[in-house]
Amino acid sequence: MAEGQVIVGLEVHCQLDTKSKLFCGCSTDYRNDAPNTHVCPVCLGLPGAMPVLNKRSIEYAMRVAKALNCSVLPESEFSRKNYFYPDLDKAYQITQYDKPLAEGGYLEIESDEGGEKRIRITRIHVEEDPGRLVHRGTTESGKYSLVDYNRAGIPLIEIVSEPDMRSPKEARKFLNKLRATLEYLSVFDSEKEGSLRVDANISIKGSERVEVKNISSYKGVEKALLFEITRQKSLLRRGQKVDRETRHYLEARGVTQSSRSKEQEHDYRYFPEPDLRPLHVQSWVEGIVLPELPDARRERFIAQYGCSLNHARTLTGELRLANFFEKVVAADPTGLSTLADTWIADTLIGELNYRAMSIDAVDATGFTELLTLLKQCIITDNSGIEVLRVMLDQRRDNQSCETPSAIVDRLNLRKVSFDTAQSGIEGNPDIDPLRTSIAEVLMEHPAAVEDFRKGRKGAFNFLIGQLMKKTRGCADPAELNRLLQEELNKKEA
Amino acid sequence: MATEQEVRHIAGLADVGINTEELARFTHQFNAILDYFDILDRVSGDTAVTRDRYNVMREDEIEPSLPQEEVLRNAAATEDGFIKAPRVME
Amino acid sequence: MSGHEITFEPDDRYNAFLTTCSKAPHGHGKLAGVAVAVKDNISTKGIETTCASKILKGYIPPYDAHVVELLRNSGAAIVGKTNMDEFGMGTTTENSAFGPTLNPCDTGRVPGGSSGGSAAAIAAGMVRMALGTDTGGSIRCPAAFCGIVGLKPTYGRVSRYGLIAYANSLEQIGPMGRTVTDVSTLLGVIAGHDRRDSTSHNKPYTHTPKAGIKGLKIGIPQEYFGAGVDMAVAAVVNTAIGRLEELGATTVPCSIPSMEYALAAYYVTCTCEASSNLARFDGVRYGPAADTKKSWHDAFRDVRRAGFGTEVRRRIMLGTYALSSGYYGKYYAKAQIARENVKRDFARIFADVDVIAGPTMPTVAFRLGEKSDPLSMYLSDILTVPVNLAGIPAISVPCGKAHGMPVGLQIMGRPGEDERVIDVAYTYEQAVT
C-alpha cells in the first residue's frame, strides 16, 4: 500500500423488515403514526419487562450471513451495552458483543481500477434500535429534548467491513451492492426513511483513524468521506497530525465535525444478557435457500437478454428496477430486450431522476406498449421520449394517465413515411406528404442545394436537419435520407 | 484498591453521584468489600458453562401496543405525545 | 371478576405494608377470596409499585406481572404491597426508604430481608399467604427470622415477567405462608411456563404435599455447621435433623468446598447485574421528575443521587466497578466460573443424597440497627446464596427457637425437585405440630 493511501472501513446498520420488533410484539410500521403509539412495557423498558427474541430476525440475519459468505458461529449470544442517553430507555442496548451471529465473509464490488474486488466482512450481528430524539428550544438554557420510543426495539442488522476500501467511490459501490443484496434477500426495504445508517472509519496510511458517525443516506457517505479525506490530507500537507477521534457528519452542510457531545468514556461494561438464552443456529445454515442475488442476476441478464455488462449492472443494481425490466420484456423477450435494455437503463432512469420519481411510479404494461410502438417503427426515438415524458408527468401530477397509443394519436406523432403499396401511386407529390416536405425544404434552402452540388457534405446533413424539423421528428431518419438523396439526384439529372 | 478519586469516577460512570461528606467512609467500605472479592482470584476451572436451554424465540407476530396515554402516564413531563427529557448536547 | 371483594383493614403496627387495598376485589377459583399480599417489587397494574425506593414513588405500572395475573385468575384477593429492602438489596428490610418492618416475634428486632414485609404480614396473622422474591436468601431469611415457611423455587419454574429486576440470573418469585400446605398451594398457582420470560421452564406445579421420608438420604454439609454459625442455632437445627432421622431418613456428611468463595461470587454477580438493571431509573419515563433544564448527564445524576439509598448506590457502584474496563475477567468472569463450581459441587452431592439440610441463617434475627457495616451484613447470607448460584429449590420451615427467636430449617433439593423439598418440610411440620 502506498504512503498517503486512503483506507476506509464501514459499519452499516440496516433495519430488518420484520412485522414485529426484535424483542416484543409491537408493530414495526411506525413511520406514519403519532409518537409513542407503537410501544409496550418491553420496548419502553418498564421495570420488570423482559425481552423475547423474534425468530424471523435471526432467519433474516442468517440469510444475509449466507449471502455474504460468512460463517455462522456455533454459539452466539446477546450482550448488554451499557450507557446513558435519553433515547435508550433501559440505559443499555441489547446487542451482540463477543459472540456475534456470524463472522468472516466478503462482498464483491467493481474496483476503481476496473475488475472485481472483494471487500471482506468482519462480522454480522443483530441488535435493537434505540428511540428517536427531537430537539426543541432555542436559547442555550431553554433547550430540551423530546423522545419518541416508537423506534425503540426495531431489529437492526450490523454489518462491519474490514478497512478494504480505497476511495469514497468504492465505499459508495460497497454500500449500493450491500443495499441491493439485502433487498434481493427480502430482508430490507431501502425506501423506508432512516432504515440505513452508516458509520465510517477513515485514515490516510501512516496516520490516525477517524470515525465518522451519523451518516444516513447513500449520497451522504460519499460526500462525508470526500470531505473527511480532504480535511485529513490538508492537515497532513500543513505538517499537522490527524487526531484519533469521533466526528459527526452534518448532512445539511456536508461537513464532519468533532463530537462535542458528552459521550461518556466508551466503557460500555459489556456482559451477556441474562434474560436471553444463547443461540445454536449454525445447523440452520444448510436449510437456507438463497434467492437469485445481484451478481447472478446480472450474469443472467447478459446471457438471457443480451444486455451489455454496464446495462446489466445498472438494471440489477436495484431489485425493483430488475423486476421492472423483466416484467416489461416478459411478453416478448426476444423482440423487446435490446430496446428495453437501453430505454430503461439510459433513458427511463434519467427521466425518473430528473423528476425525483421512483421506478415504482412507472406502469410496466404502459412501458411495454411504448417499447412495442418503437419496435414497430410507428414512432421515432425522439417521439418515444416525448411520450415517455408525458406519461411520467401525468403520473407525477396525479392526472389521469393515458396509454402511450392515446398520447401518440393525440399529439399526432405517428411516423410519416412513404408507403408505395398503400398509396398505389409512385412519386405523386400531391399524395406523398414526405415528398412534399422535401420539395418545400429544397425550395426554402437553394443555397444548401447549391452547396450539395458543389460536393459539400455538410449541406446534405443541413437539409436533413431542416427536414426533421419540418416533419417534427415523425419521419424515419433512414427513409428521409433515402428519399432526399433520390430527390436531389432527380434534380441533378 | 480504589482511591477516593476512582470511587468518584465510578460514581460518575454510574450516574449515581456521591456527596463529598460521604466519600471517605464510602471509599473505606467499598475497599473492604473489594478486598473480600479478591478471594475469587483463587477460583480455577473452565468457563464451559452448562448451556441446557437455547434458541428460545417467538414467532414474528404483531401484538397490541400500549395506548399512548398509558405510555405517557408515569412520565413527569410530556409534549405533543413525546416524553420530555433533559437536553442532549450535540 | 365475580364482583366480590373483601375488606382489608389490618392493624399494621409492624409496617409490613407499603400499600393496602382496603377493598380488595376477587374472582372465582382455587384461591377465591383468599387474601394474598404481594411484595412491592412485583408489578401490579393500577397499584403503586415502589420497590421501597423513593425513585419509584408514585409509579403505577400499566401491566400486571405474570404471577399477579395468575393470582387474579385463581380468585385471590390482592390485599396490599409489602415492605422490603430497597430493590431487594438487604437482609433486614432496614434498607427500605419508607421505614423498616418490625419482627412480630420481637419488635426490637428485624424481620429479615429483603421480603421482610411479606414475612411479618404472615407472622402477624394479617394474611396467610404472600409472594416474596429470593435473590440470595430474601424469602428464606425472613421466613426463618419470623418463624414462617418460605420457598425459593427452582430457577425458571416461576415467571419473572413483571418482577422489577435486581439480579436476573439469581432471583425467583416464591411463595411464603403460615404452613407448608399454604406455600404448596400458592406455588401451584404461580408456577408454570410464561412465554414472556425467556428463562421460564415449562414445569407446572400440581403437587399436594405428602408426608413420608422413609429411606430418604439427607446430606449434611460441614460448612453449614462451621465457625460462623451460632451454636444455639446449630443445636436447634441438629435436633430437627434428628427428628427427620427418627421419621426414617438417614444422614450423610458432605462438603461444599466452593462455599469458600460462593458469597463473593454471589455479590459480584448480583451487583453487576443490578448496576445495569437500575440504570434505567432516570426520572424521564417514571419516578420523580428529572430537571429537563439541566443537561441529561447532570439531570440523571441528581435524580439518582436523591432517589437511591446508600446501600443501593453502593451496590450499583460495586457492579459498575466490577464490569468496568479491565476488570471483567477478574470479577464477573471469575464469578461465573465459581458458580459453575458450586453447581458441580451440588450435583456431586446429589448423586449420593436426595436432599441437603442445614440452618437457613447463621444466627437468629438481629436487633434493629445492629448490623451497620455492609460487609458484615453480606456475610450473613453465606448459607442461603449457594442455592441461588446453583438455581436449585430450597425451603425454610420453622424448627424451634434459639435466644427466644425463631430458627429456620433449610431443605435444599435437586433442580426441578421442588415437590420433594416440600414433602420433606411437610413431613417435618406434621411431625412437630
Question: Cell triple for residue C13?
Answer: 403496627
Question: What domain range includes position C304?
Answer: 1-433
Rounded distance between C-alpha atoms, residue A80 and residue A91, angstroms: 9
Q: Look at residue A443 and tell me if it is in a domain.
A: yes
A 67-96: CB under 8 A from C: 80, 82, 84-86, 89-92
Catalytic site includes residue C295: no
Nearest to C286 among B22, B36, B74 (CB): B74
Q: How far is B47 from chain A (nearest CA, A)?
A: 13
Domain boundaries, chain B: 4-42
Q: How confident is the model at residue A236 (pLDDT cuts 50, 70, 90)?
A: very high
- Which amino acid is residue A53, in one-letter code? L
| A318 has pLDDT over 50 | yes
Supply the pTM of this predicted model: 0.91
Task: Give residue A267's domain range.
Answer: 6-287
Q: State the total domains in chain C.
A: 1
User: What phi and psi values does residue C47 have, to the nearest 5 degrees?
Assistant: -115, 130
Q: Are residues A344 and A276 in the same domain?
A: no
Question: Within 10 A of C113 (CB to CB), how many other CB atoms are there?
Answer: 31
Domain boundary among A253, A287, A321: A287
Lowest mean pLDDT among A225-239, A448-462, C206-220, C364-378: A448-462
- Clarify whether residues A185 and A255 are in a common domain: yes
A136-140, C157-161, C340-344, C423-427: least confident range: A136-140
Residue A481, pLDDT above cutoff 90? no
Cα–Cα distance, B20 to A71 (Å, whole number): 52
pLDDT of residue A392: 94
Query: In a mutagenesis test of the C interface, which of A77, A143, A271, A273 is the best target, namely the one with the most C β-carbons within 10 Å?
Result: A271
At B75, give phi and psi (nearest 5°): -80, 140
Q: How do beta strands C394-402 and A210-215 pair?
A: unpaired
Q: Residue A428's domain is classified under what CATH number?
A: 1.10.10.410
Provide the pLDDT for residue B52: 76
A91 to C324: CB separation less than 8 angstroms, yes or no:
no
Does C114 participate in catalysis according to the annotation? Answer: yes
**Mean predicted confidence (pLDDT) in C132-147:** 98
> Quick one: pLDDT band at residue A378, thresholds 50, 70, 90?
confident
**Predicted pLDDT at A274:** 97
- Establish if A415 belongs to a structural domain: no
Q: Has residue A81 got a pLDDT over 80? A: yes
Region B32-57: mean pLDDT is: 86
A281 with A300, same domain: the answer is: no
- Residues A36 and A108 grouped into a single domain: yes
> Is residue A245 in some structural domain?
yes
Confirm if C101 and C122 have CB atoms less than 8 A apart.
no
Judging contacts by C-beta atoms under 8 Å, the chain A residues touching residue B84 are 144-147
In angstroms, the CA A302 to CA C301 distance is 63
Q: How far apart are CA A371 and CA A335, in angstroms?
A: 10
C391-406 pLDDT per residue, tens: 999 999 999 999 999 9
Confidence of residue A435 (pLDDT cuts 50, 70, 90): confident
Strands C217-221 and C250-254: parallel
Find the range with the poorest average confidence among A389-398, A433-442, C249-258: A433-442
ipTM of the predicted structure? 0.96
The reply to whether A216 and A140 lie within a common domain is yes
Domain boundary, last residue among A252, A270, A287: A287
Residue A264 has pLDDT above 50, yes or no: no
Q: Is residue A1 part of a domain?
A: no
| pLDDT tier at C410, thresholds 50, 70, 90 | very high
Looking at residue A430, its pLDDT comes to 44
Instruction: Please check the confidence at residue A261 and state whether its pLDDT lies above 60.
Output: no
Residue appearing with cell numbers 404502459? A366
Count: domains in chain A: 3
Q: What's the pLDDT band for A54 if we cut at 50, 70, 90?
A: very high
Contact present, B10 and C295 (Cβ < 8 Å): no
Please give the average per-residue pLDDT across A348-376, as a whole number: 92
Q: Is C161 on the interface with A (CB under 8 A)?
A: yes
Per-residue pLDDT at A1 exceeds 70: no
| Integer Cα distance of C21 and C77 in angstroms | 9
Q: Per the CB < 8 Å rule, is C264 touching B88?
A: no
CB contacts of C44 in chain B (<8 Å) are none
Write down the catalytic residue from C43, C53, C96, C114: C114
Give residue A8's Cα distance to chain centre.
21
Question: Quick one: B48 exposed, middle or buried, by C-beta within 10 A (0-12, 13-18, 19+)?
Answer: exposed
Q: Kindly tell me if the per-residue pLDDT of A388 is higher than 70.
A: yes
Q: Which residue type does C153 have?
A: P
CATH (domain of C347): 3.90.1300.10
Measured between CA atoms, how close is B54 to chain C, in angstroms?
9
Res A431: pLDDT = 47
Residue after which a domain boundary falls, among A256, A287, A318: A287
What is the pLDDT of chain B when averaged over all its residues? 90
Question: Can you give the pLDDT at residue C165?
Answer: 98
Q: Alpha helix locations (H) across chain B? A: 4-13, 20-37, 68-73
Verify whether the Cβ–Cβ distance C63 to A46 is below 8 Å.
yes
What's the rounded Cα separation, in Å, for the pair C221 and C412? 11
B77 → closest Cβ in C289, C318, C333: C289
C118 is catalytic: no
- Bond from prior residue into C114 cis (ω within 30 degrees of 0): yes
- Per-residue confidence band for A420, with pLDDT thresholds at 50, 70 and 90: very low
| A198 within some domain | yes
A443 or A153: which leads in pLDDT: A153
A392 and A432 both lie in a single domain: no
Neighbours of A295 (CB within 10 A): 17
> Within this chain, do residues A375 and A268 fall inside the same structural domain, yes or no?
no
Distance separating alpha carbons of residues C320 and C314, to the nearest angstrom: 10
Inter-axis angle of helices A457-470 and A477-492, to 10 degrees? Answer: 120
User: What pLDDT does residue A416 have?
Assistant: 67
Q: Looking at the structure, do residues A403 and A334 belong to the same domain, yes or no? A: yes
* pLDDT, mean over chain C: 96
Q: What is the pLDDT of residues C337-389, one digit of tens each?
A: 999 999 999 999 999 999 999 999 999 999 999 998 999 999 999 999 999 99
Residue A262: pLDDT over 60:
no
CB atoms near residue A205 (< 10 Å): 11
Considering the domain architecture, whether residues A186 and A281 belong to the same structural domain is answered as yes
Q: What is the mean pLDDT of chain A?
A: 90
